[in-house]
Structure 1
Amino acid sequence: MVELAFSTNAYTRHSLPEAVRRIADHGYTGVELLGDDPHAYFPEFGDDDRAALLETLEETDLAVSNVNANTAMGYYDDAPPSSFFEPSVIRADDEAREWRVEYTKRAIDLAETVGSPAVCLASGRPLPGTMPEAAREYLHQSLREILDYAEPRGVDVGIEFEPELLIENTEEVLALIDELGRDSLGVNLDVGHAAVYGEDVAESIRASAGSITGVHLEDIVGGRRGKHYHRIPGEGDLDFRAIFDALEDVGYDGFATLELYTYPDEPDRAAREAYAELEAYV
């Protein structure tokens, strides 16, 4: 049976332990950890931070659904408020690309420590001067190194597709999984990303059967081909009954994680109302 988790990336005005405690207070059985500033930016996430997190997880009895390593905003001193993916695993600059590979390995270390089944990673977008064909080669190289590190540690890697990235839809992520041929590589399926690309979300889930490492949930105004802005379920047009039916049809029994980073000023309301809207499905 699918269980509900909530991502700490809605609680960026709070410390990581406080975010975990607040999520537990709203009835969730799982929590996704933001592998980035201000929660677990790995170059600065030390032994004391790790110990405090483990103590809080034990105190709240929350399972970790995923370590979200899509972004590394802490890399920049002046990062804009909107998330982006640089330096990415497809960056042509060898040093920057290797930095991101090593960063993802630290996310895998945290996943192993807290018992998370997976980490998620976005491909990034090809920058000017890097043709998509070359970017794809960089992606393959990076993923092979990441998977070589993840597999002995029992951690899966889920690629999260998103419109305008190198890997931006269901067909492309499944082709990538087939090309790499590694059982530990899958898709972290964000239902809103499928919708705004123009896909039928339920069909995206069914096509991904057996490859889903995790699920991100949010609502989208406009549904298919709507605008990419994460809303509290019930405030948009996605059919969550159809989404959960599709997850049941493919035998997915992991966590579905609410990703509502768009509510930093009122994360408790977002967590509370999302749970109330979706608890009937799980």
Structure 2
Amino acid sequence: MEIGLSSAVFYPNIKTEDSIKLISDLGFTCAEVFLNSPFEYENDFIKKLTYIKESCGLKINSVHSFSSSFEPYLFDAYKRRRRDMLKFFEMVCKAGSSLGASCYTFHGMRNGPTDFISKDLIHDVYNNLTYIAGENDIKLAQENVSWCMSSNLEYLQDLKDNCRYPLYFTLDIKQAYRAGVNPLEYLNIMDKDLINFHINDRNDIYSCLLPGDGDVDFQSIFSKIKSLNYKGNAIMEVYSNNYTSYEDIKKSKRYLEKFV
């Protein structure tokens, strides 16, 4: 397991293509790339990112899309809208595969009314998504997100029980606490299908902090993850207002290294 960094930590101050070298310069050898606009899903842009990451010797662990623009509508009751959104989904799968990522960090459905959406439709959509991901040599990694259906433990268990093709998971610590759920409860469901890990800290005042700046019991979480024979990395993902200098990020990386 390596400590990696998400390019999201520089949003919106640093362009995605410039974040690749910066992550490497900060001493990280792996990263999650957050694609911040549909333009960044396109083949020419991905070729540019691939050239940069290879020049830096940086491994791309995972990709994350500008998800709010299309992922919720993959589950829309209107079939034509679902079909159109699949075009973006497949572009992100292809982008991730081209970058050498092992997985696509996926938010999915928002919390909210589901009057026109049945469980059968949800299962059908996930069967389609996981199939498309597999066809593009990338794994769909459902993230627990506090403002999405994936914050619900029963929802995640239902997906796991009913997906026809392999479904994987991303654990995000801050999103677990925002949902009022102990991260270990998510790990009990994700189990050996955990493939990606977003690591961050929090306390009673702030819901997202750099690891080491809050009171999360990382020892318990890492012990549980290791017991699952987890083979992935720990990707630091915070917001640009959670640090004042790049030295803060490097200090947090050093703090985490004692757990891995």
The TM-score bracket by the shorter chain reads 0.7 to 0.9
State the match for 1:60 in structure 2: 56
Are the aligned partners of 1:260 and 1:270 in contact in 2 as well (CA < 8 Å)? no
Partners of 2:154 and 2:66 in 1: CA distance = 20
Displacement, 1:220? 1.8
* Gap regions ≥5 residues in structure 2: none
Q: What is the letter of the counterpart of residue 221 of structure 2?
A: I
Are the aligned partners of 2:74 and 2:83 in contact in 1 as well (CA < 8 Å)? yes
Partners of 2:245 and 2:83 in 1: CA distance = 34
Are the aligned partners of 1:88 and 1:100 in contact in 2 as well (CA < 8 Å)? yes
State the match for 1:274 in structure 2: 252
Are the aligned partners of 2:212 and 2:255 in contact in 1 as well (CA < 8 Å)? yes
Residues 117-173 of structure 1, C-alpha deviations (whole Å, 9 max, x = no match)? 110111222555x32x72544432322222221213321101112224222134421
- Does the alignment pair 1:158 with 2:154? no
Residue in structure 1 matching 2:232, options 238, 245, 254:
254
Aligned CA-pair RMSD: 2.5
Are the aligned partners of 2:203 and 2:214 in contact in 1 as well (CA < 8 Å)? yes
State the match for 1:192 in structure 2: 174
Q: What is the letter of the counterpart of residue 49 of structure 2?
A: L
Of residues 105-114 and 263-272 in structure 1, the stretch that sits farther from structure 2 once superposed is 263-272
- Does the alignment pair 1:241 with 2:219? yes
Q: What is the letter of the counterpart of residue 159 of structure 1?
A: Q
TM-score of the pair, normalised by structure 2: 0.87
Partners of 2:157 and 2:133 in 1: CA distance = 19
Partners of 2:159 and 2:21 in 1: CA distance = 37
Q: What is the letter of the counterpart of residue 122 of structure 1?
A: H
Partners of 2:185 and 2:52 in 1: CA distance = 38
Are the aligned partners of 1:70 and 1:122 in contact in 2 as well (CA < 8 Å)? no
State the match for 1:116 in structure 2: 101
Displacement, 1:97? 2.8
Q: Within 5 Å, which residues of 2 pair with 1:1-282? A: 2-12=1-11, 13-37=13-37, 41=38, 43=39, 45-69=41-65, 71-72=67-68, 75=69, 87-128=72-113, 130-131=114-115, 134=117, 136-183=119-166, 185-222=167-204, 229-263=207-241, 266=244, 268-269=246-247, 271-282=249-260
Displacement, 1:265? 7.8
Partners of 1:234 and 1:111 in 2: CA distance = 30
Q: What is the letter of the counterpart of residue 31 of structure 1?
A: A
Number of equivalenced pairs: 259
Partners of 2:245 and 2:17 in 1: CA distance = 15
Q: 1:206–1:250: structure 2 CA closer, same or farther, 3 Å change rule?
A: farther
**Which SS does the other structure have where 1:88 is aligned?**
helix
Say which structure is richer in helix.
2
Are the aligned partners of 2:111 and 2:147 in contact in 1 as well (CA < 8 Å)? no
Displacement, 1:70? 6.0
Partners of 2:45 and 2:125 in 1: CA distance = 28
**Which SS does the other structure have where 2:197 is aligned?**
strand
Partners of 1:277 and 1:259 in 2: CA distance = 15
Are the aligned partners of 1:92 and 1:135 in contact in 2 as well (CA < 8 Å)? no
Displacement, 1:216? 0.9
Displacement, 1:270? 5.0
TM-score of the pair, normalised by structure 1: 0.81
Q: What is the letter of the counterpart of residue 179 of structure 1?
A: N
Residues 21-45 of structure 1, C-alpha deviations (whole Å, 9 max, x = no match)? 11112222211011223xxx3x454
Displacement, 1:100? 2.8
Q: 1:141–1:116: structure 2 CA closer, same or farther, 3 Å change rule?
A: same
State the match for 1:80 in structure 2: none
Partners of 2:149 and 2:173 in 1: CA distance = 18
Give % identity. 20
Are the aligned partners of 2:72 and 2:108 in contact in 1 as well (CA < 8 Å)? no
Displacement, 1:206? 4.1
